[in-house]
Each structure stands twice: as structure tokens, then as C-alpha cells.
């Protein structure tokens, strides 16, 4: 049986880095579309970018084939360039021996990607992608509500 195909767009934002932050995600399945967002009082932009992907993947109820579109090179490259696998092999240390930042979030994100077939796709931020722009708007709006 084929897996369900889901498209996810995500974005994170921070007012100051660190500072108040927000995230937004759009999940699309067939004709259905769901928007989710949230914020944290004191965080970083990278944490918000990762949180958007984590929260979106948590919404999936069945094993799915997922395309995650993000303007975060940090998030996309960690999987597409294999950094996360090297970090795990080295006990969550980077190539230079420093500890990996946001380890708990990376572990959670990795575990979620193991439940689905996930492909990460980098999009240009603040450009002409309507879904990325909407996620950015939701992330910035979430900052205003915390």
C-alpha cells in the first residue's frame, strides 16, 4: 500500500536572537490544508525553525511520504548533507568536537523522521513562495501573541 503524501511548509522567526520567537507550518494533504503556529518567550531563530518542522510532523496520524519545504538551511542541510548522522555517530559532537546545539530537538526531529519517509527541500525565504510567506506571517504573528 502506498503511503499518504503530505506536503509541509514551515518557517520560524525571532525578534532578537535570542528573543521572543514564533513558528508556523502548513500541512497539505490532497485538498485539505491545516495551519498551525506557536511561540516561545525566549528562544532562537534556529529553535523556531526546527520546532515548526517537529510540530508539523507530530500532526501526522499515519505513516506518510512527506515533503518538508523550509527556508532554514540549518534544518534542511542537517538532513540532506548527513550532518545529523555524523553527530549521532560522534556522540552528538560536531566535527570540531564541540557539542551539537539543540541536541534534544534534533533527537526529537530525527525520531519523527523515522516514522515517515521525509524529504527536506530548501526554499528561498522572503521570496515569491506563497506558502513560505504565509508560514513567515504566522510565525511573526505568533510572536505578537506571547
Residues acting as catalytic residues: 11-12, 49, 71, 126, 136
Query: Would you report the helix, strand and coil content of the chain in percent, each value rounded to 5?
Result: 40, 35, 25
Whole-number Cα distances in Å, 66 to 6, 111, 113, 116, 117: 5, 14, 9, 7, 6
- Measured distance CA(141)–CA(111) in Å, rounded: 29
Amino acid at each position: 500500500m502506498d503511503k499518504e503524501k503530505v506536503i509541509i511548509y514551515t518557517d520560524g522567526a525571532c525578534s532578537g536572537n535570542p528573543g521572543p520567537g514564533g513558528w508556523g507550518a502548513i500541512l497539505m494533504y490532497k485538498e485539505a490544508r491545516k495551519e498551525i503556529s506557536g511561540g516561545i518567550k525566549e528562544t532562537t531563530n534556529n529553535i523556531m525553525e526546527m520546532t515548526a518542522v517537529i510540530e508539523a510532523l507530530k500532526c501526522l496520524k499515519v505513516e506518510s511520504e512527506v515533503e518538508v519545504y523550509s527556508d532554514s538551511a540549518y534544518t534542511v542541510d542537517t538532513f540532506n548533507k548527513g550532518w545529523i548522522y555524523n553527530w549521532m555517530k560522534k556522540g552528538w559532537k560536531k566535527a570540531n568536537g564541540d557539542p551539537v546545539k539543540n541536541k534534544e530537538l534534533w533527537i526529537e526531529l530525527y525520531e519523527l523522521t523515522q516514522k515517515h519517509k521525509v524529504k527536506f527541500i530548501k526554499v528561498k525565504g522572503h521570496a515569491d513562495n506563497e506558502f513560505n510567506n504565509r508560514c513567515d506571517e504566522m510565525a511573526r504573528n505568533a510572536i505578537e501573541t506571547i
